[in-house]
């Protein structure tokens, strides 16, 4: 858990400081909003640490989707600079790797957005 928080902080700073592409910026915005939204719900529903209600299941699912999005950004941006807290080392534009990485990042964003929508439906927001 502590490592994931460190990675989130490093990710946020590196994406803010670096000139981000639209997909990187979208991922950054989604992660920041997701963290705030999910932390708020977790504080409102402490029973979800051990309960299995529909709300708790969807909350855990959305948290996993957010974590998967963070992992996708790590893969997309991975490189020596990024691993040391520097800017994103996205694949070179115009290459098959760049398109594949961008598509996977977009899929992770869409996956989180769907789980958030499902969770909001259960919560009634």
78-108 pLDDT, tens digit each:
888 888 888 888 999 899 999 999 999 999 9
Q: Which of 31, 11, 35, 9 is nearest to 89 (CA)?
A: 11
Number of structural domains, the chain? 1
Q: How confident is the model at residue 18 (pLDDT cuts 50, 70, 90)?
A: very low
Tokens, residue 34? 């997701």
Range of the domain at 29: 2-123
Q: What does the block give as tokens for 16? A: 């803010």
pLDDT the model gives residue 85: 87
DSSP letters spanning 11-63: HHHHHHHS---HHHHHHHHHHHHHHHHHHHHHHH-GGGGT---HHHHHHHHHH
């Amino acid at each position: 858990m502590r490592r994931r928080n460190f990675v989130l902080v490093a990710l946020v700073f590196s994406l803010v400081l670096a000139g981000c592409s639209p997909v990187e910026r979208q991922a950054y915005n989604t992660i920041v909003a997701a963290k705030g939204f999910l932390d708020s719900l977790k504080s409102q529903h402490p029973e979800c640490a051990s309960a299995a209600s529909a709300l708790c299941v969807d909350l855990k699912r959305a948290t996993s989707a957010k974590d998967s999005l963070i992992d996708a950004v790590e893969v997309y941006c991975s490189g020596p600079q990024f691993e040391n807290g520097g800017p994103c080392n996205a694949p070179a534009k115009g290459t098959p790797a760049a398109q594949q990485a961008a598509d996977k990042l977009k899929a992770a964003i869409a996956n989180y957005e769907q789980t958030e929508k499902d969770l909001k439906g259960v919560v009634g927001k």
